[in-house]
C-alpha cells in the first residue's frame, strides 16, 4: 500500500523514523510539527534535515491546536492515511505544565479528528501510550484490560484521545487504530527520557537519579520494532463489526487498540548495568523515592499485534542500546 500520508510530529523521535521508513516504502509524506522547545529544538531540526532532501517529503511548521491552520491543511490534497504522533509527551513534565498536555493531546487531537472527518481518510493511526494502564493493572498489560486509573495527566490525555477517536470512528466511520507504545528508545531518541539522560550523565561523570530506589521495570522497545509494527498496521484499517446483525444501530465502530512493546520487562538496575557495559563506564547513582505519576512496571501483551500483522517487537535490549550508544557518540562526538 502507498499513497499520500500525513505524519504529525514528524520532527519528533518516532515521527522522524516513521517518515524515513515510509519514504523508502514509496509513500508521499506530508509532515507537520510545531518544533517546540520541550527538548533541544536543534535535534528536531537535524532530524528534519535528514528528510528534507527527499522529493516526496513536504514539511510545514504547524501547531495541532491552531484550528484555522489545521482546517487549511485538511482543505488541501487528500490524505489516504493520517498518523498522529504529535503530542506533549513525558509523564513527569505533565505535573509541571498541565495545560500544554490538554492543548496538544486533547484540543489539538480534536483538530486532527475533525480533519480526518472532513477528508474521509482511509485510516487514522494515533499514538497512545502504555501509561494508560495506570497503576492498578495486572501484568502483562492486555488491550482488554480496564484502563480507568490514570496516574498522571499525560496518561489521562492519552486515554482521552483513545475515547475521542473511538467516538469519531463510531459517529463518522473513520477507521482508527490507537497505538500504545512502550518505552521507546534508540538512535535520534528523546533527551528527556532516562536512557538518554543517563548516557549524558554517565559520560559526564555526573550522578544519575534513580527513582523508587531502582525497584522499577520497563518494557524497553527498540525504535525499529515500533516502526515495523506501525508500518504493518497502516494497511490493516479496522472494520466495523455487527454486534447484533438484525439491529443496524448495534454495529461496533471500526476502531482498535494495539500494544506495541517488547514483552520483556527489564529491572531498572539491570538496565543500568547493560548501559554501563555499552558505555564502558560505571554510573554514580543517586537513589531517590518513587515519583508522583510513575508506575512500578510496564509489560506489553502483544497477542493482538501478533495475530493482526504477524509481528511483535523482539530486539534484545543490549543490542538496541549498543546501537543507541554508537549513534550518540557519533552525533555528540
Cα–Cα distance measured from residue 48 to residue 5, given in angstroms and rounded to the nearest whole number: 17
Residues in CB range of 221: below 8 A, 6 or more apart: 181, 182, 183, 184, 185, 260, 261, 262, 300, 313, 315
Cα–Cα distance measured from residue 256 to residue 169, given in angstroms and rounded to the nearest whole number: 10
Cα–Cα distance measured from residue 130 to residue 151, given in angstroms and rounded to the nearest whole number: 12
For 241, which DSSP code?
B
- Is residue 219 close enough to count as binding ligand NAD by CB under 6 A? no
Site size toward ligand NAD (CB under 6 A) is: 27
Among 62-70, 132-140, 273-281, 325-333, which window interacts with ligand NAD (CB under 6 A)? 62-70
Q: Considering beta carbons, is residue 122 or 219 the nearer one to ligand NAD?
A: 219
Q: Site for ligand NAD (CB under 6 A): which residue of 28, 73, 82, 86?
A: 86
Cell of 148: 480507568
Q: Catalytic one among 38, 39, 101, 154?
A: 154
Cell of 187: 538512535
- Is residue 183 close enough to count as binding ligand NAD by CB under 6 A? yes
Among 79-87, 196-204, 233-241, 320-328, which window interacts with ligand NAD (CB under 6 A)? 79-87
- Is residue 82 close enough to count as binding ligand NAD by CB under 6 A? no
Work out how close the CB of 241 gets to ligand NAD at its nearest, in angstroms, rounded to a whole number: 27
Closest CA to 196 of 69, 90, 77, 78: 90
Work out how close the CB of 247 gets to ligand NAD at its nearest, in angstroms, rounded to a whole number: 36
Active site residue 101: no
Binding mask 189-218 for ligand NAD (x = CB under 6 A): -x----------------------------
CB atoms within 10 A of CB 222: 23
- Is residue 64 close enough to count as binding ligand NAD by CB under 6 A? yes
Instruction: Judge contact between 227 and 21, C-beta under 8 A.
Output: yes
- Is residue 262 close enough to count as binding ligand NAD by CB under 6 A? no
Q: Site for ligand NAD (CB under 6 A): which residue of 34, 176, 199, 315?
A: 34
- Is residue 156 close enough to count as binding ligand NAD by CB under 6 A? no
Calculate helix-pair angle for 223-233, 13-24, nearest 10 degrees: 60
Helix then strand then coil, in percent of the chain rounded to 5, is: 45, 20, 40
| Residues known to be catalytic | 154
Binding site for ligand NAD (CB under 6 A): 9, 11-15, 33-36, 44, 63-65, 85-89, 104, 108, 127, 129, 181, 183-184, 190
Amino acid at each position: 500500500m502507498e499513497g499520500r500520508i500525513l505524519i504529525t510530529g514528524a520532527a519528533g523521535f518516532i515521527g522522524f523514523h516513521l517518515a524515513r521508513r515510509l519514504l523508502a516504502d514509496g509513500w508521499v509524506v506530508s509532515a507537520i510539527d510545531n518544533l517546540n522547545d520541550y527538548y533541544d529544538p536543534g535535534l528536531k531540526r537535524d532530524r528534519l534535515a535528514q528528510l528534507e532532501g527527499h522529493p516526496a517529503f513536504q514539511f510545514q511548521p504547524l501547531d495541532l491546536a491552531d484550528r484555522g491552520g489545521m482546517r487549511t491543511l485538511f482543505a488541501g490534497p487528500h490524505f489516504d492515511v493520517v498518523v498522529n504522533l504529535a503530542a506533549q509527551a513525558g509523564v513527569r513534565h505533565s505535573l509541571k505544565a498541565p495545560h500544554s498536555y490538554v492543548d496538544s493531546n486533547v484540543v489539538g487531537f480534536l483538530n486532527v479528528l475533525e480533519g480526518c472527518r472532513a477528508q474521509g481518510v482511509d485510516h487514522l493511526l494515533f499514538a497512545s501510550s502504555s501509561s494508560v494502564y495506570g497503576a492498578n493493572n495486572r501484568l502483562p498489560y492486555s488491550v482488554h484490560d480496564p484502563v480507568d486509573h490514570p496516574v498522571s495527566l499525560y496518561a489521562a490525555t492519552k486515554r482521552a484521545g483513545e475515547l475521542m477517536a473511538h467516538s469519531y470512528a463510531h459517529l463518522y466511520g473513520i477507521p482508527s487504530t490507537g497505538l500504545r507504545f512502550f518505552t521507546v528508545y534508540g538512535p535520534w531518541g528523546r533527551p528527556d527520557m532516562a536512557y538518554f539522560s543517563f548516557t549524558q550523565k554517565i559520560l559526564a561523570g555526573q550522578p544519575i537519579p534513580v527513582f523508587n530506589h531502582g525497584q522499577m521495570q520497563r518494557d524497553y522497545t527498540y525504535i525499529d520494532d515500533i516502526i515495523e509494527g506501525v508500518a504493518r498496521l497502516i494497511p490493516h484499517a479496522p472494520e466495523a463489526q455487527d454486534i447484533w446483525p438484525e439491529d443496524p444501530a448495534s454495529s461496533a465502530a471500526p476502531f482498535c487498540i494495539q500494544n506495541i512493546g517488547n514483552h520483556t520487562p527489564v529491572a531498572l538496575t539491570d538496565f543500568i548495568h547493560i548501559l554501563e557495559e555499552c558505555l564502558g563506564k560505571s554510573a554514580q547513582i543517586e537513589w531517590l523515592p518513587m515519583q508522583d505519576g510513575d508506575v512500578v512496571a510496564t509489560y506489553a501483551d502483544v497477542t493482538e499485534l501478533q495475530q493482526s500483522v504477524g509481528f511483535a517487537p523482539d530486539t534484545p535490549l543490549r543490542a538496541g542500546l549498543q546501537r543507541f550508544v554508537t549513534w550518540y557518540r557519533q552525533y555528540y562526538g
